[in-house]
Amino acid sequence: MTGFKSKKEMTMSKLGEQLFYDVEQLYIEGLSAKQIASELGCPLDLVLEQLAEIGVADSPQEEVYSPYYGA
């Protein structure tokens, strides 16, 4: 092994970085994992892996509107 990446590996790496960015941005915009997968045309499992890597839930957590929450 030479330590150099092939052209295909470099392309896949750049695609992975772009996909990671896209998943993160769509999550921030409020889309669920299923919506993100549909929007990007990629497998749901891949989106769930990316979200887990970021350390967030499947879909953005809703705020709890309760007079007892946090009391």
* Residues contacting residue 26 through CB under 8 Å, at least 6 positions apart: 35, 36, 39, 40
CA dist., res. 48 & res. 29, Å (int): 16
CA dist., res. 65 & res. 4, Å (int): 53
pTM of the model: 0.64
Q: In this predicted model, what pLDDT tens digit does every residue of 6-54 receive, in sequence order?
A: 555 545 566 678 888 999 999 999 999 999 999 999 999 999 988 988 8
